[in-house]
């Protein structure tokens, strides 16, 4: 890690003009490293599973924990109720004339199940091999918290920040951020900023800092197929009754053609052609199909013909089954014709697909292909728009310098297959550029058992973000 030779106010420059981590901030972060880790572990112990109402009190406790952690560093925060889980907003606005940044993160986590596949319990953070294992370690508590500590480094060492800061932490990201867009709309004035900064994604490879230029959107469905009024003896009735499980299988099988293209009519109508320059730049990233095969434990890759793997992941839409439920799945055999079958299906979307239009297309398609003899319903659970940025402007320039200072490497521009629903809303409602700079790593097991965050990235992430505020503040853009 680079260190500047003397304590300076503001981003320091080496003789070659390269930014380095300001020495006072570096010292604060290293001196306080054990305490910072203890605090993070406290946060990770709260099982704030937004999807599960049994955890509503825990989710609330996580919101309070975030509020207190902001209050303690001198960024007074308030908890705003919503129709779902609350939003926490902290404000520090004592840099007159300086730019204002909005830092977003989420304090909710995915359900930890299946529990038996965790090496150490999901809500007992454990360090192995310089990785912090816990549900939410990387998605997104560790990444939200590193921002809080970067702010603390400034406030504790200098009593001030070079930029005005608003921190917003939500508790519904993992369930689609249903109430956040209206909150942003209602609180436009409170959240108004010159730039939005979010760490809820990953670096392209270890040691390679990354700035995201795109996210996919989402349209998530539940498909229910109802057959007979109750389960039936599969010998007495099988053969004469339409089997709902088979009917569902037939429906799902119509979603793709033999080349892996989505066969729902109209699905690609709004897909924007990608700039050949961006595709070329993607091809220059150090990526190898074999690494992905090893990471995921598969022998061959699948998907749409005619695209590279990164293109399939970042710039092409998908339609995937996320879960299936039907019939007898217990031990041994039970001869039964199930009364119903259910599938959870999610489509990842790319610019300019619109979740509401995809919902219409999906419903029309399923209605058309549904076999006679069963009742099929399609429910749209939640959605989010895809996002893409050009990455020009002072916040991106400052981020490049800050990442280079912390990681000793020029950041790469990447895309992402996942979704962060509020990103498009921030851009649309606040009119501010969004910088997505994440510190996760490939293989981090987000949403899966044994999720981890690299200790090194947690540390470098704090330093990069602390440096970013000096760099962005120095541009004076407000
Ligand atoms: N941190 C992720 C988004 C993400 C995923 C970024 C993969 C980079 C790589 C976020 O917490 C997430 O999981 N989002 C959900 C959103 C959905 C529930 C609307 C997703 O992508 O499934
Ligand atoms: Zn997530």
Ligand 1 close to Cβ of residue 218 (< 6 A): yes
Task: Give yes or no for a contact between 26 and 16, defined as CB atoms under 8 angstroms apart.
Answer: no
**Residue 18 has what pLDDT?**
83
- For residue 414, give the nearest of 286, 233, 265, 295 by alpha carbon: 286
Query: What is the model's pLDDT at position 443?
Result: 93
pLDDT in tens, 131-167: 999 999 999 999 999 999 999 999 999 999 999 999 9
Task: Please state, in angstroms and as integers, the Cα–Cα distance from residue 197 to each residue in 89, 104, 139, 406, 434, following that order.
Answer: 14, 6, 15, 17, 6
User: Quick one: which atom of ligand 1 is closest to the CA of 212?
Assistant: 8
Domain with CATH 3.40.630.10 in the chain: 5-215+386-473
Residue 93 Cα to ligand 1 middle (Å): 30
Q: Is the CB of 245 under 6 A from ligand 1?
A: no
Q: Whose CA is nearest to atom 20 of ligand 1?
A: 419
Distance separating alpha carbons of residues 313 and 415, to the nearest angstrom = 8
Which are the contacts of 424, defined by CB distance < 8 A and separation ≥ 6? 217, 384, 385, 386, 387
Q: How far is the CA of 160 from the centre of ligand 2 (A)?
A: 32
Assign 353 to helix, strand or coil.
coil
**Mutate which of 212, 446, 451, 457 to test ligand 1's pocket (most atoms within 8 Å of Cβ)?**
446
Q: Is the CB of residue 170 below 6 angstroms from any atom belonging to ligand 1?
A: no
Query: How far, in Å, from the CA of 377 to the mean position of ligand 1?
Result: 26
257: number of CA atoms within 13 Å, CB side? 9
Q: What is the distance in A from the centroid of ligand 2 to the CA of 174? A: 5
Output the CA 460–ligand 2 centroid distance in Å.
Answer: 21
Pocket residue to mutate for ligand 1, from 109, 138, 139, most atoms within 8 A of Cβ: 139
CATH 3.30.70.360 domain residues, the chain:
217-271+317-384
Q: Which SS3 state, helix, strand or coil, does residue 291 take?
A: helix
Cβ count near 259 (within 10 Å): 10
Q: How many CA atoms lie within 13 A of 122 on its CB side?
A: 25
Distance 234 CA to ligand 1 centre (A): 41
N-to-C CA span, the chain: 31
Pocket perturbation via mutation, ligand 1, pick of 292, 420, 423 by most ligand atoms within 8 A of CB: 420
Index of the ligand 1 atom closest to the CA of residue 421: 19
Residue 319: the pLDDT is: 98
User: For 5-215+386-473, which CATH class?
Assistant: alpha beta
Contact 451, 135 (CB under 8 A): yes
Rg of the Cα atoms in the chain:
24
pLDDT attached to residue 238: 97
Give SS3 for 181. Answer: helix
Q: Distance between CA 168 and CA 101 in Å, rounded?
A: 11
Separation of alpha carbons 406 and 131, rounded Å: 19
Report whether residue 139 contacts ligand 1, using a CB cutoff of 6 Å: yes
From 322, 417, 419, give the residue whose CB has the most ligand 1 atoms within 8 Å, as the site to mutate. Answer: 419
Tell me, in angstroms, the distance from the centre of ligand 1 to residue 258's CA.
28
Contact 265, 367 (CB under 8 A): no
pTM: 0.91
- Does residue 201 line the site of ligand 1, with CB under 6 A? yes
| H or E, element range at 436 | strand 434-436
Atom 4 of ligand 1: nearest residue by CA position: 418
Contact 218/346 with Cβ under 8 angstroms? yes
Q: How far is the CA of 448 from the centre of ligand 2 (A)?
A: 10
From its phi and psi, is residue 239 left (phi > 0), alpha (psi between -120 and 50) or beta?
left
Q: Is 142 in the pocket of ligand 1 (CB under 6 A)?
A: no
Using a 6 Å cutoff on CB, does residue 420 contact ligand 1? yes
Provide block-wise average pLDDT over 10 residues at a time, the chain (478 residues).
38 63 98 98 98 98 98 98 98 97 98 98 98 98 98 98 98 95 97 98 97 96 98 98 98 98 98 89 93 94 96 97 97 98 98 97 98 98 92 96 97 95 94 97 96 98 98 82
Instruction: Establish whether residue 384 lines the binding site of ligand 1, counting it when its CB lies within 6 angstroms of any ligand atom.
Output: yes
Please report the pLDDT score of residue 259 as a whole number. 97
pLDDT given at position 12: 56
Distance CA 99, CA 93 (A): 10
CATH of domain 217-271+317-384: 3.30.70.360
- Beta-bridge partners for 233: 336
């Amino acid at each position: 890690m680079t260190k500047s030779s003397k304590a300076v106010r503001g981003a320091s420059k080496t003789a070659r003009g390269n930014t380095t981590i300001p020495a006072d901030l570096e010292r604060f972060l290293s001196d306080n490293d054990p305490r910072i880790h203890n605090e993070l572990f406290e946060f990770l112990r709260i099982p704030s599973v937004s999807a599960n109402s049994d955890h509503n009190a825990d989710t609330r406790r996580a919101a309070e924990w975030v509020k207190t952690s902001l209050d303690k560093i001198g960024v007074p925060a308030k908890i705003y109720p919503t129709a779902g889980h609350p939003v926490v907003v902290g404000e520090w606005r004592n840099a007159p004339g300086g730019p204002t940044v909005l830092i977003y993160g989420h304090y909710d986590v995915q359900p930890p199940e299946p529990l038996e596949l965790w090496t150490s319990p999901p809500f007992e953070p454990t360090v192995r091999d310089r990785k912090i294992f816990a549900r939410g370690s990387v998605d997104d508590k560790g990444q939200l918290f590193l921002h809080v500590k970067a702010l603390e480094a400034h406030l504790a060492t200098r009593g001030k920040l070079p930029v005005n800061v608003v921190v917003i932490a939500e508790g519904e990201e993992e369930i689609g951020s249903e109430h956040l867009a209206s909150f942003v709309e209602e609180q436009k004035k409170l959240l108004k900023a010159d730039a939005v900064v979010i760490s809820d994604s990953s670096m392209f490879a270890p040691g390679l800092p990354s700035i995201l230029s795109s996210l996919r959107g989402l349209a998530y469905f539940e498909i229910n197929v109802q057959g007979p009024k109750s389960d039936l003896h599969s010998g007495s009735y099988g053969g004469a009754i339409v089997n709902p499980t088979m009917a569902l299988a037939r429906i799902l099988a119509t979603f793709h053609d033999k080349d892996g293209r989505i066969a729902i009519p109209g699905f690609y109508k709004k897909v924007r052609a990608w700039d050949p320059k961006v595709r070329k730049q993607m091809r220059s990233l150090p990526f190898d199909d074999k690494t992905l095969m090893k990471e995921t434990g598969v022998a061959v890759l699948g998907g749409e013909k005619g695209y590279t793997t990164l293109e399939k992941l970042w710039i092409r839409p998908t339609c995937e089954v996320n879960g299936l439920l039907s019939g007898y799945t217990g031990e041994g055999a039970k001869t039964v014709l199930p009364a119903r079958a259910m599938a959870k299906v999610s489509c990842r979307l790319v610019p300019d697909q619109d979740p509401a239009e995809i919902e219409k297309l999906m419903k029309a398609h399923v209605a058309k292909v549904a076999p006679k003899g069963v009742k099929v319903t399609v429910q749209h659970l939640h959605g989010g728009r895809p996002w893409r940025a050009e990455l020009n402007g002072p916040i991106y320039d400052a981020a490049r310098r800050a990442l280079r200072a912390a990681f000793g490497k020029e950041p790469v521009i990447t895309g992402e297959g996942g979704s962060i629903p509020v990103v498009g809303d921030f851009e649309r409602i606040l009119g501010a550029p969004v910088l997505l700079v994440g510190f996760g790593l490939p293989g981090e097991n987000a949403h899966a058992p044994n999720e981890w965050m690299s200790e090194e990235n947690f540390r470098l992430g704090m330093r990069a973000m602390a440096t970013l505020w000096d760099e962005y503040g120095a541009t004076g853009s407000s």
